[in-house]
Structure 1
Amino acid sequence: MRHHPFRILLLISALSAMLTGCGKSAQQTWTDRFTHLWQAYQVTFISPEGRIVDASQPDQRSTSEGQAYALFFALVANDPTRFAQILNWTRLNLGAGDMNTHLPVWLWGHRADGSWGVIDGNTASDADLWLAYILLQAGRLWHQSAYTETGRRMVSLIAQREVVDVAGTGPVLLPGTRGFGPDDQGCVTVNPSYTPLPVATYMAHEFGPPWQSIAKRLPQLIRATTERGFAADWAQACPDKPLTVPAPGHPPTGSYDAIRVYLWAGLAAPGTPGQKPLIDSVWGMASYLAGHEAPPERVNLSTGDAENTGPIGFSAALLPYLEAQHMKQRFRQQAERVTAGQQPSGLMGTPPTYYDQNLALFALGHLAGLYTFDEHGTLEVHWQ
């Protein structure tokens, strides 16, 4: 498996400590933290039926995003039984019983009339893209042709229903099938965090158009929607005009959506086309951390003002991003915050929110070497 040069430096340092009788390797430490968190996550957030429950919300919701992320972690952990359980609940409750022909709805939970079921029938394209990608990787790694076929069909459905071509910008991924345009002027709303570079690169390599153009233009899209070096939550693309921030109806912020832009960029293999310019375009967060102990919860992109201290998951999400830039001191500072924030139960933060756990699992699994992406976006796992 490929190792990032910075990670090699960390491992050499850890090995030196071991030779002098001090502790275990850095990679093993991250593995232990991932394993502890994933075990606690399953107990706390996954129902016996395979539903990922966000209990912090009054509707006790489940989202297609949560289902997708949990499937990814189950694949990384080489747990086909848990994977099948989560996928089955997703297919039956979000995918109308057949994800070969239906993109899953994004929101399910406790409805106003007291019943349980679909709350919002719109889709979430980031979850759809992850689900398709994960099914393709699971099919390949576990030799399950049914997973591969469903993944391929989902890729086709996403291209048909959630991708539009905007003149001057090219094909873009809409956040969902409804409510994001095109409007009367042909403008659409985009979310820069919805298209992870490794996933888009894999789709481009395996399926061609429109994914080739989406992957190639992704660094340009991120750069065009970045203000003061910070990634934006929402932006607007109009025909033959520069992308603008914010999108109508959204504040000019970088926060809970945008934090994933840094994470996805850091997870991409160094040789991935576009990875370096993408990383370089979101320099603002690394610059901010040079003078602050933790990332901000929210950045006003119009003024550059930071608001509040970001949760523990934000620090975790930034670890691969800082690692990719060889920023050892800033990496160490955020790593110490993450380490201190892991409870004896294994969960992250107080209180341990659903979103923080997901961001941390992505980061810890990567730092542990449990998974990586190659330059084509193919998933590499430790148990291969």
Structure 2
Amino acid sequence: MHRVIKAALLLSIAFFVVSCSTKDNSEFTSQYIAYKALFIDGDRVIDTGNDNVSHSEGQGYGMLFAVAADDKDTFDALWHWTKRTLMRDDGLFSWRYRPCADNSASCIDDPNNASDGEILIAWALLRAHEQWGGSSYLENAKTIVRAVEQKLLITNKNSVVLLPGEYGFTSKQVGKNSLQLNLSYWVFPAITDLAKISSAPARWDKLYKSGLALLSKMQFSSYQLPSDWVRFTPTNTDSGNKDIGTVSLDEVISPEFGFNAIRIPLQLTWSPQFRENTQLTEKLLAPYYAWWAITPTPATVNLLNEETAEYEMSEGMKSVQIAVTSLMKTEAPEKPEWPLIDRNMDYYSASLTLLSMLAVLDNAS
């Protein structure tokens, strides 16, 4: 009951700020206040669409949003809980915490990591260092970067790829080794920034380029869209061929363009380096524009049989479309009209909305 009253009070404040503010950074802050009231319980982000679990991805999102809103107290609370509860001895993070009586690390029901969590948390710590100073944020970010390099970056003949987690994503067969990858875990602007604090920046640069090369191959079905999950068989020959390898939808977790892959166009266009490559932007973004031209746009499509969802995109997915359109305009874009974060949104849709707003804010200049 206390949490409900607190959320209602904070939401009232947020709506007041929205009504009284101009549409600049204050709009992000007011949306963040609503997000905080609905999805942050003291020191952990609550995934309301999945039994109120917390996961490394959500903690990373919450930390990113807190930095952007200049909310140091919330950032520190989220980071201390994440470090105390989810961080493993090797510097990676257990990906899922399911609430239990102990309210401790014993509530972790899957100790494997999810690499988008590491990328987001390290990036948030780096941004916190840039925002507020202090060496501890930076040193913790470097620790995570080293752990990612040691356990999650896989170097092949012509590529560097990011394992989705330490365990469970490799397949060894006679004559070939394949990896199951999730390209929505490639947070392209974060990869660029984290390279600057790495002792091996060339590996991160190769990771960025390998992600673009993979996406150029991941244009499946007549829709030419990327899948949530893809099977990658790398090239490991010395033939001189610069091709990175082959991709397929064979026995993947999900062959859909869905709630994972929707982050790909946002994270591409968030990166100034990507937007500057006109030839590549045209090739990779055209399928999204064509997909969004369908009215109403389905939330997902199975790229094996082209069966579309019977329900349309969520408000968070629509936020991604708004951000991509805004970021790719060559002339000064109009102020985006963002969906309002309120009780009708679940955690993930609200997170996509704030991510989209943050991407546009980052590139406002």
Scaled to the shorter chain, the TM-score interval is: 0.7 to 0.9
Identify which of 286, 291, 300 aligns with 1:288. 291
Identify which of 188, 195, 203 aligns with 2:194. 203
Partner residue in 2 for 1:35: 29
Secondary structure of residue in 1 paired with 2:209: helix
Question: Counterparts of 1:325 and 1:103 in 2: how far apart (Å)?
Answer: 34
Question: Counterparts of 2:91 and 2:191 in 1: how far apart (Å)?
Answer: 21
Aligned residue type for 1:232:
S
Aligned residue type for 1:42:
K
- Is the Cα contact below 8 Å between 2:171 and 2:177 reproduced in 1? yes
Aligned residue type for 2:22:
Q
In structure 2, do the counterparts of structure 1 residues 301 and 335 end up closer, same or farther at CA, with 3 Å as the change threshold? farther
Does residue 173 (structure 1) correspond to residue 162 (structure 2)? The answer is: yes
Identify which of 89, 101, 117 aligns with 2:81. 89
Question: Counterparts of 2:102 and 2:358 in 1: how far apart (Å)?
Answer: 40
Aligned positions of 1:226-237 closer than 5 A: 226-227=219-220, 228-237=223-232
Question: Counterparts of 1:276 and 1:73 in 2: how far apart (Å)?
Answer: 32
Shift in Å, 1:273: 6.2
- Is the Cα contact below 8 Å between 2:229 and 2:252 reproduced in 1? no
| Structure with more contact order per residue of length (Cα contacts < 8 Å, sep ≥ 6) | 1
Identify which of 342, 350, 356 aligns with 1:347. 342
Partner residue in 2 for 1:315: 318
Gaps of 5+ in 2: 1-17, 236-243
Partner residue in 2 for 1:192: 183
Per-residue CA deviations over 1:324-356 (Å, capped at 9, x if unaligned) read 33399xx98x965x44xx2xxx427x3x11000
Partner residue in 2 for 1:238: 233
In structure 2, do the counterparts of structure 1 residues 373 and 326 end up closer, same or farther at CA, with 3 Å as the change threshold? closer
- Taking structure 2 as the reference length, the TM-score comes to 0.81
- Is the Cα contact below 8 Å between 2:275 and 2:328 reproduced in 1? no
- Is the Cα contact below 8 Å between 1:230 and 1:254 reproduced in 2? yes
Aligned residue type for 1:353:
D
Question: Counterparts of 2:135 and 2:34 in 1: how far apart (Å)?
Answer: 31
In structure 2, do the counterparts of structure 1 residues 55 and 268 end up closer, same or farther at CA, with 3 Å as the change threshold? same
Partner residue in 2 for 1:7: none
Aligned residue type for 1:29:
K
Question: Counterparts of 1:113 and 1:154 in 2: how far apart (Å)?
Answer: 27
Identify which of 260, 263, 276 aligns with 2:263. 260
Identify which of 121, 127, 140 aligns with 1:131. 121
Partner residue in 2 for 1:46: 40
Shift in Å, 1:193: 0.8
Question: Counterparts of 1:353 and 1:32 in 2: how far apart (Å)?
Answer: 22
- Is the Cα contact below 8 Å between 1:193 and 1:257 reproduced in 2? yes
Partner residue in 2 for 1:216: 209
Question: Counterparts of 2:171 and 2:281 in 1: how far apart (Å)?
Answer: 26
Aligned residue type for 1:265:
L
Aligned residue type for 2:91:
H
> What's the % identity of the aligned pairs?
24
Per-residue CA deviations over 1:211-236 (Å, capped at 9, x if unaligned) read 12111222111111122331210111
Aligned-pair RMSD on alpha carbons? 3.0
In structure 2, do the counterparts of structure 1 residues 266 and 242 end up closer, same or farther at CA, with 3 Å as the change threshold? same
- Taking structure 1 as the reference length, the TM-score comes to 0.77
- Is the Cα contact below 8 Å between 2:292 and 2:321 reproduced in 1? no
- Is the Cα contact below 8 Å between 2:320 and 2:356 reproduced in 1? yes
Secondary structure of residue in 2 paired with 1:69: helix
- Is the Cα contact below 8 Å between 1:201 and 1:215 reproduced in 2? yes
Aligned positions of 1:2-41 closer than 5 A: 28-29=22-23, 31-41=25-35
Question: Counterparts of 1:181 and 1:112 in 2: how far apart (Å)?
Answer: 35
In structure 2, do the counterparts of structure 1 residues 113 and 32 end up closer, same or farther at CA, with 3 Å as the change threshold? closer
- Is the Cα contact below 8 Å between 2:274 and 2:281 reproduced in 1? no
Shift in Å, 1:312: 0.7
- Is the Cα contact below 8 Å between 1:198 and 1:268 reproduced in 2? yes
Question: Counterparts of 2:278 and 2:55 in 1: how far apart (Å)?
Answer: 29
Aligned pairs, how many?
A: 329
- Is the Cα contact below 8 Å between 1:226 and 1:282 reproduced in 2? no
- Is the Cα contact below 8 Å between 1:223 and 1:282 reproduced in 2? no
Question: Counterparts of 2:264 and 2:307 in 1: how far apart (Å)?
Answer: 19
Partner residue in 2 for 1:306: 308
Partner residue in 2 for 1:356: 349
Does residue 145 (structure 1) correspond to residue 135 (structure 2)? The answer is: yes
Gaps of 5+ in 1: 1-23, 375-384
Question: Counterparts of 1:65 and 1:196 in 2: how far apart (Å)?
Answer: 12
Secondary structure of residue in 1 paired with 2:357: helix
Shift in Å, 1:252: 2.0
Shift in Å, 1:303: 4.3
Secondary structure of residue in 2 paired with 1:126: helix
Per-residue CA deviations over 1:13-59 (Å, capped at 9, x if unaligned) read xxxxxxxxxxx9xx9325454233211111111112x111113323x
Shift in Å, 1:182: 4.9
Secondary structure of residue in 1 paired with 2:300: strand
- Is the Cα contact below 8 Å between 1:229 and 1:281 reproduced in 2? no
In structure 2, do the counterparts of structure 1 residues 243 and 335 end up closer, same or farther at CA, with 3 Å as the change threshold? farther
Does residue 161 (structure 1) correspond to residue 158 (structure 2)? The answer is: no
